Amino acid sequence: MQARLLRCQLDAVSVESLHEFLSTKEKAAIPDKNDIFFAVISARRAKFDECLQDIAMVQAQFLRAGVEPVWFVDAGDLNDYNSLGLKVVEGGKRAAARNKALEEAARLGKPCCQCSDDISRWEFRPGPRVAKTEDALKTAWNSSKAVVASPVAAAQFLLAKLRAHEGQQRPYLAGVHNNGITERTFGRQEYETHHHIPGDFFVADLSPVRFDESMVRKEDFVFTVQHIEMHASVLRCNRWMIEAKHRKNPGGANTNKEGRRKAEKQSQEEILARWPQAFRKHKTAEREVIMTWPDQEPDSEGEVAKEPKRKPKRGREDDADDKEAKKPPTPLDFTKPSTPKESAKPPTPKEGARPGTPKEVGRSGTPKEAAKPPTPKDAAKPGTPKDSKPGTPKEGTETPKTRKEPGKTATPPDVSSKAAGDQPATKKLRAKDIQQNYMDSVITKAEKVPSTEYIAARCGAVVGQKVRDVIGTVEYTKGNGTKAVYACADLVYDVNTGFLGLEGA
């Protein structure tokens, strides 16, 4: 444990080592570490030996960077945390403790950095976005340079990004990637503006937004949405990652797992009811939600990674028998006489008697009823123009290909390949298609002209450039005056609507 702690302390770099990843304007916006209020949110951890090591790890990394954080803990834990020599404040429940930290930072006129009590590593890996394939993600990961920084340096970096943000409305909340230290981060843009900011580690500049204390769990999702509603966006840096224990760690909410599950389910239902347009249920984690802000790429790489591969559906062995049993009689069966010899082989058109030739019918050896010519109800009289109507043995009987099965509607004609002017219908692109196949394609101008002024402007701004160079980079102004970054969802819309095209698509 001591060796691991020492290694983390020695590896962690200061914000000066991150200057190469910041613009000139961003470097000028880096705040002094003493101008940030650092808070650690914790509860019931000091009662376990394993958690004491985690607490020491977090405290040591702040102290190594020259900062002493304030620990906001539950009321019953004050003595335990004070005995460790920490600077402790009674915070109450989690959302209330977070708000107390924000209020204290506001009283001091400082931005607030909040941190979990079980983080052992802050890692930054710069690099462009790549396709979400295993090979591409591994290649990007292996070719990137890992920078292990202190929590203080990470907070200064994120605040510099916030304060140097260009636009009429800048974000006031910034955070890190929400899936731990993983190569899947390279499947997303480096920076995203309408996605979940996890409460494990974030910085909030001076803003009136506070946590909803009625939320027992998932309060960081609500905090993120309320920041977007007030300030138009947030800022998540997907190349900043943290290593934390979370649910593997004793103490905290894990002291009552049944209560935690119940609270998570209740919070999930409340979030889905309040913002149905911004959240949906996770496909594999029953109590989790996925943030899907309108017109933005869903925050779902964790969902995709965990989703099991679907096996091809296997038909039951008796399916063939069932289908055979449900088949209607063949066309020739409709002409069989209802005699005890119905199972006898019906005469073929060559052997069967022609209408109007009783002698040949008599030779067929069938009962007299079978020798009768068809009635006008069943078939047209021979020699009349009605020979071509359905009902005659030669032309009128339905073939198995065209017969309408009982209980089923007739299959409509296939018109999918007939668009205007007899042109084949264009296949609509998805965000996944663009990410995997068209990141290096050049964006071209299509025939259709946008009637909306801001869409026409953003289309004009990206024409002639590669997809990789515009996604997450080009900014445009929406119709309501807010600034936005051109996202993959915008390109999908513009291409499928006919405003833009892609070389090779």
The domain that holds 90 is classified in CATH as 3.90.550
Give the domain-ending residue among 306, 330, 356: 306
For every residue of 382-411, which 3-state class applies, written as one string? CCCHHHHCECECCCCCCCCCCCCCCCCCCC
Residue 491 CA, distance from chain mean position: 17
Q: Annotate 477-502 with b (16+ C-beta within 10 A) or e (fewer).
A: eeeeeebbbbbbbbbbebbeeebbbb
Q: Which whole number is the average pLDDT over 430-451?
A: 86
Judge if 201 and 53 occupy the same domain: yes
Of residues 492 and 416, the one with the higher pLDDT is 492
pLDDT at 404: 47
The label of the residue with tokens 């020599």 reads 85
Q: What percent of the chain has pLDDT over 70?
A: 70
Place of tokens 């006919």: 498
What is the rounded distance in angstroms from the CA atom of residue 448 to the CA atom of residue 495? 10
**Amino acid residing at 44:** R
- Determine how many CB atoms are found less than 10 A away from the CB of residue 18: 21
Domain-embedded: residue 75:
yes
Q: Examine the pLDDT at 156 and tell me if it is beyond 90.
A: yes
Q: What is the pLDDT of residues 11-23, one digit of tens each?
A: 678 888 899 999 9
> So what's the pLDDT on residue 166?
73
Q: What is the pLDDT of residue 471?
A: 85
Per DSSP, the three-state class of 234 is coil
Q: By mean pLDDT, which of 257-266, 281-290, 387-396 is the weakest?
A: 387-396
Domain boundary among 306, 337, 372: 306
Answer yes or no: is pLDDT of 366 > 80: no
CA of residue 6 relative to chain centroid, distance:
39
Cβ 132 vs Cβ 66: under 8 Å: no
Number of folded domains that form the chain: 2
* pLDDT for the residue 27: 94
Residue 311: the pLDDT is 54
Q: Provide the pLDDT confidence category of residue 291 given band limits of 50, 70 and 90.
A: confident
pLDDT at 492: 87
* pLDDT recorded at residue 367: 47
Q: What is the pLDDT of residue 30?
A: 95
Query: Tokens standing for 380?
Result: 């047209």
Query: Pick from 284, 304, 285: which is nearest to 188 by CA?
Result: 304
Q: Are 328 and 403 in contact (CB under 8 A)?
A: yes
* CA neighbor of 158 nearest in space, from 213, 130, 197: 197
Given a cut of 90, whether residue 403 has pLDDT beyond it is: no
pLDDT band, residue 437 (cuts 50/70/90): confident
Report the range of poorest mean pLDDT among 69-83, 196-210, 274-288, 458-472: 274-288
Model pLDDT, residue 304 = 45
9-64 pLDDT, tens digit each: 556 788 888 999 999 999 999 999 999 999 999 988 888 887 888 899 999 999 99
**Inside any domain, residue 369:** no
pLDDT of residue 61: 93
- Domain stops at, among 265, 285, 306: 306
221-250 tens-digit pLDDT: 999 999 999 999 999 999 999 998 765 665
Q: 10 Å Cβ neighbour count for 24?
A: 9
Extract the tokens encoding 89.
């404040």
Share of the chain above pLDDT 90, in %: 41
In a domain, 6, yes or no: yes
Sign for the CA dihedral angle at 196, 202, 207, 213 comes to positive
DSSP secondary structure letters along 400-457? TTTPPPTT-PPPPP--TT--GGGPPPPPPP-HHHHHHH-TTPBEEE-S---SSHHHHH
Does residue 253 form part of some domain?
yes
Tell whether 327 is covered by a domain. no
Give the residue-averaged pLDDT of 151-168: 90
For residues 488 and 434, is the Cβ–Cβ distance under 8 A?
yes
The predicted model gives 281-291 an average pLDDT of 83
Here the tokens at position 22 are: 């910041």
Name which residue leads in pLDDT, 124 or 437.
124
The rounded radius of gyration (Å) of the Cα atoms in the chain is 35
Most confident of 20-24, 382-386, 412-416: 20-24
Instruction: Kindly report, residue by residue over 442-497, the tens digit of the pLDDT.
Output: 999 998 999 888 899 999 999 999 988 888 788 888 887 778 888 888 898 899 88
For residue 349, what pLDDT is reported?
52
Tens digits of per-residue pLDDT, 62-119?
Answer: 999 999 999 999 888 899 999 999 999 999 889 999 999 999 999 999 999 999 998 9
More confident residue, 408 or 29: 29
Looking at residue 440, its pLDDT comes to 87
For the residues 312-324, what does the mean pLDDT come to? Answer: 51
Q: Which of 185, 48, 210 is CA-nearest to residue 118? A: 48
CA 365, 366, 369, 375 dihedral sign is: negative
- Which domain does 469 fall in, by range? 428-502
Q: Token digits for 278?
A: 């911004």
Interstrand relation of 201-204 and 279-281 (parallel, antiparallel or unpaired): unpaired
**Among 85, 48, 61, 45, CA closest to 9:** 61
What is the dihedral angle through the alpha carbons of 203, 482, 165, 435, rounded to the nearest 10 degrees? 90
Asked whether residue 61 is domain-assigned, the answer is yes
pLDDT band, residue 292 (cuts 50/70/90): confident
Question: Within a domain: residue 410?
Answer: no
Whether 158 and 193 have beta carbons less than 8 Å apart is answered as no
- Residue 123: HSE in the Cβ half-sphere, 13 Å Cα cutoff: 20
pLDDT tens, position by position, 319-358: 544 555 455 555 544 444 444 444 445 555 555 445 554 4
* Residues 40 and 70: beta-carbon distance below 8 Å: yes
The reply to whether 349 falls in a domain is no
C-alpha angle 207-40-112 in degrees, rounded to nearest 5: 20
Residue 237 contacts by C-beta under 8 Å, 6 or more apart in sequence?
A: 157, 158, 161, 174, 175, 176, 177, 190, 191
Q: What is the pLDDT of residue 97?
A: 95
